[in-house]
Amino acid sequence: MSTSVESFADLGLSESLLKTLSEIGYETPSPIQAQCIPILLDGHDILGMAQTGTGKTAAFALPLMEQIDIKVAKPQALILTPTRELAIQVAEALQSYAKNLPGFHVLPIYGGQSYTIQLKQLARGAHVIVGTPGRVMDHLERKTLNLDNLRTMVLDEADEMLRMGFIDDVEWILERTPEQHQTALFSATMPEQIRRVAQKYLVEPREIKIKSATATVAAIRQVYWQVSGMHKLDALTRILEVEDDFDAAIIFVRTKTATVELADKLNARGYAAAALNGDLNQQMRERVIEQLKSGALDIVIATDVAARGIDVPRVSHVVNYDIPYDTEAYVHRIGRTGRAGRNGNAILFVAPREIRMLRTIERATRQPIAPLTLPSRADVTNKRVADFKAKVAEVLNAEGLEFFANIVSQIAEEQNVGAEEVAAALAMMAQEGKPLQIAGEDPRPAPAPRDSRPGVFGEREQRKPRFEDRGERSERPRFEDRPPRSERPPRPAPAGDMVRYRIDVGREHGVEVRDIVGAIANEAGIESRFIGRIGLYEESSTVELPGGMPAEAANALKRTRIRGVPINLRIDEGRPGGSFGGERKFGGGERKFDGERSFKKKNFDR
């Protein structure tokens, strides 16, 4: 099928979904949406090769929702994702698409969240389940999740699930699904094990292959601010104030309503701003763009659809106030700046749960996006004072000040004060609702993402081949062979000493220090500051962990995999010979470890 589809209305979707897509700001389907939606609506299985950020969530979610029977409050679709972050992201997307579908309920289930919460939500009924393989397995084994009414099965980012060691779990789940259902498998790459799964469980699938977005213009400076400790509007105004080369900006949001609300708030703060969305007729749209060109407006707040085709050379900044749903939208957005041979600036606001999408954008555009330090109160004050001084200096060079000088002299004489005090009073009056010195406190800086250290983007390209591509790997214990929870030993008494452990992953597996830290922090709930020295060797590694580790944490680590390899955690009995990758003191044992209380609250059962 051709990818040049101009409208979602051409794909056979219902009026309620088309109305929702219009409200969200979707107009033209991405290539993967144009190809997948008609095939899935016709009931065929799909084997899709597509990167994250190409719009594939909507590609499988929209046809999936067309098949949901709202009257049956039982799981009719199951979407497996490799991480809890992606599970939440997909669930939120489904919920947004269901805006005009009353009674629709989607439930994300993943490890680390309380079973009690999930059991209550499952008991209430859900039409779509989005989950990680381990937690879905648990609910199936407990019989708290029933798939008898399943119509659609989606495997999202299958190669990532393979890399993380979940492919056995995925097959375990597939074996327990009803015989008659539709399956869609999406993967950025197609290693042999994923191809084997597709051949075994998909029925005459249609294959779709989509290329990722191309690189962006090098003249555009790209930075991001991680949303934390301050309202986005306050952060936006601070950033715009201190940007030296600010001339005009397009600010992107997701909904039509948000364009109007943000424009009103910026106008109230003294900015010349206007909304640009699909509700404007062509004449009003052209008027807004003309005002932006002439300087009557400095800021336009727009949706993706409304901003297409804008070519205004004075647009110095593009702000992604809401992160886009896919990388192609990001490329189109920031293409509104850096035009006519000028330099441009692209600023992206990223919530902590959206860091994954940030990394996807970096990979797709092949450019790193640097973190932006939020301007402090002092920075904003200094900028306002500098601008004020410049205006005063401009007036001082003008003619005809004698009349006003006489007024100042009269005031000084009548009030028995000096001319400086009169000038100070006039300066205070001249603030015009925008004080030169802002009040309040600076928020604490957001914690840096785990993989945001300098050079990380380039390092990704240089990694060794992933372990699953290096040959056959050992089987891990099947789910049903794990010890019952009731037989697990009680937690030991807390202790403060560090214990060195050995794990069976090293440099030959492409493992880095951050992979080890991330796996331990995520699986065992141990904060990174309590992880001690890490020694990276060719075939194995050592890591110092707090003594008195809870039994649940130790058990979780024993079955953990890093890059698909079982780590086989055990106490180290001596440093081996051979090539040594160097020890790194990550969190160190210098902070006081207070036993169980120093572990994050976490349910260690998969």
Render 177-220 in DSSP notation, one character per residue: S-SS-EEEEEESS--HHHHHHHHHH-SSPEEEE-PPPPP--TTE
Pick the CATH number of 8-209 from 3.40.50.300, 3.40.50.11810, 3.40.50.1370, 3.40.50.10490: 3.40.50.300
Q: Which residue has the higher pLDDT, 436 or 465?
A: 436
User: How much is the average pLDDT of 449-456?
Assistant: 40
Query: Rounded to an integer, what distance in angstroms lies between the CA atom of residue 210 and that of residue 589?
Result: 48
- Per residue in 86-120, pLDDT tens? 888 899 889 989 988 889 999 999 887 888 889 99
In this predicted structure, the answer to whether residue 301 has a pLDDT above a threshold of 80 is: yes
Q: How many residues does the chain have?
A: 606
- How far is the CA of 370 from the CAs of 349, 450, 460, in angstroms? 12, 14, 16
Is residue 522 within 8 Å of residue 110, measured between CB atoms? no
In this predicted structure, the answer to whether residue 324 has a pLDDT above a threshold of 70 is: yes
Mean pLDDT of the chain: 79
**Domain locations in the chain?**
8-209, 220-375, 378-429, 491-598
The reply to whether domains 8-209 and 491-598 share a CATH topology is: no
In this predicted structure, the answer to whether residue 460 has a pLDDT above a threshold of 50 is: no
In this predicted structure, the answer to whether residue 538 has a pLDDT above a threshold of 90 is: no
- Per residue in 261-285, pLDDT tens? 999 999 988 889 999 987 888 788 8
Q: What is the CATH number of domain 491-598?
A: 3.30.70.330
**What is the residue whose two structure tokens read 């306050």?**
234
Q: Phi/psi at 52 (nearest 5 deg)?
A: -60, 140
pLDDT of 464 reads: 36
Amino acid symbol at 89? Q
pLDDT of 241 reads: 85
DSSP-derived pairing of the beta strands 248-252 and 299-302: parallel
In this predicted structure, the answer to whether residue 220 has a pLDDT above a threshold of 70 is: yes
Question: Model confidence at 74, in pLDDT bands (50, 70, 90)?
Answer: very high
Share of the chain above pLDDT 90, in %: 29
Fold designation for 220-375 = Rossmann fold (3.40.50)
